[in-house]
């Protein structure tokens, strides 16, 4: 499962507060969802925390977000370990501060053996940039016999993984917009999409559980016809 966590800023502004406050409340929603996910049968959860295009936001907002990521990574490790959560960060690291990179590495190392939930945070992430890198890797390897599976392995490699990039089965986007915003474009080829007008800071366990229920009720055909349809 993957989530585009949208609506922090609008939620805060609607309450007469600065956008940064919305992001802080958004971090609390992250905690709620991470805690609830394993009991709902979710094995992998990828959260879109910061896109490569988000660097174009005002500097103080970017600073707040980077600080929030760092404090989440530093403070949350004991709780992640308690809940069996293995944390991975996807995206470029060369534009992040050395302190944030250190916090990422420390959290990834500390949680590496956990296996109840694989939590992937996308930070300075662009799916199109990853696909370009994967194409470059494939070309450097000669490009021969390239097929879907071997390209998925290249996408994984471009993301620093040892295995192919995992498929997304369900994508949730909060905040009322209905777009993918350069997130997991390869991985979402057959994802079920769910859009909710709820803003991210208001999203909780019940919303996650409702989305999973809706997903389970969907008829996933992967381009085929269902047995019932004959």
CB atoms closer than 10 angstroms to residue 216: 11
Residues 158-177 that bind ligand FPP (CB under 6 A): 175
Among 1, 2, 3, 6, binds ligand FPP (CB under 6 A): 6
> Scanning the structure block, which residue is given the tokens 């004959």?
230
Indicate whether 119 belongs to the interface with ligand FPP (CB under 6 A): no
Q: Which is nearer to ligand FPP, 50 or 183 (CB)?
A: 50
- Classify the phi-psi angles of 207: left when phi > 0, otherwise alpha if psi is within -120 to 50, otherwise beta: alpha
Which of 134, 124, 139, 135 lies closest to 182, judged by CA? 124
- Strands 170-173 and 192-195 come out as parallel
Q: Is 83 one of the annotated active-site residues of the chain?
A: no
Please pick, among 6, 124, 169, 207, the residue that the annotation labels catalytic. 6
> Scanning the structure block, which residue is given the tokens 């057959």?
190
Q: What are phi and psi of 10, to 5 degrees?
A: -60, -35
Indicate whether 26 belongs to the interface with ligand FPP (CB under 6 A): yes
Residues 65-104 that bind ligand FPP (CB under 6 A): 65, 68-69, 72
Q: Cα(52)–Cα(65) distance, rounded to whole angstroms?
A: 13
Q: Which is nearer to ligand FPP, 183 or 215 (CB)?
A: 183
Segment holding 224, helix H or strand E: none
Number of residues located near ligand FPP, criterion CB under 6 A: 20
CB of 10 to ligand FPP, least distance (A): 3
Q: Which is nearer to ligand FPP, 134 or 208 (CB)?
A: 208
Q: Cα(37)–Cα(213) distance, rounded to whole angstroms?
A: 13
Among 3, 30, 107, 122, binds ligand FPP (CB under 6 A): 30
CB of 34 to ligand FPP, least distance (A): 9
Among 27, 33, 104, 117, binds ligand FPP (CB under 6 A): 27
Residues comprising the chain, all counted:
230
| Rg of the chain, C-alpha, whole Å | 18
Binding region for ligand FPP (CB under 6 A): 5-10, 23, 26-27, 30, 49-50, 54, 65, 68-69, 72, 121, 175, 200
* Residues with a known catalytic role: 6, 54
């Amino acid at each position: 499962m993957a989530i585009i966590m949208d609506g922090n800023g609008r939620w805060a502004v609607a309450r007469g507060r600065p956008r940064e406050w919305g992001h802080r409340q958004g971090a609390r929603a992250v905690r709620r969802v991470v805690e609830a996910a394993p009991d709902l049968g979710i094995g992998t959860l990828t959260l879109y925390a910061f896109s490569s295009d988000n660097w174009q936001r005002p500097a103080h907002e970017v600073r707040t977000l980077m600080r929030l990521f760092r404090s989440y990574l530093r403070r949350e490790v004991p709780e992640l370990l308690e809940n069996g959560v293995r944390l991975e960060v996807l995206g470029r690291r060369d534009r992040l501060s050395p302190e944030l990179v250190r916090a990422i590495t420390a959290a990834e190392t500390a949680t590496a053996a956990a296996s109840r939930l694989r939590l992937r945070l996308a930070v300075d992430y662009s799916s199109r940039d990853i696909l370009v890198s994967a194409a470059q890797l494939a070309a450097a390897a000669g490009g021969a016999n390239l097929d879907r599976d071997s390209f998925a392995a290249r996408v994984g490699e471009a993301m620093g993984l040892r295995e192919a990039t995992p498929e997304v089965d369900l994508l949730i986007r909060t905040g009322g917009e209905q777009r993918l915003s350069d997130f997991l474009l390869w991985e979402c080829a057959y994802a079920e999409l769910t859009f909710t007008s709820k803003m991210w800071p208001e999203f909780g366990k019940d919303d996650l559980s409702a989305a999973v229920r809706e997903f389970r009720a969907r008829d996933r055909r992967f381009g085929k016809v269902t047995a019932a349809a004959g």
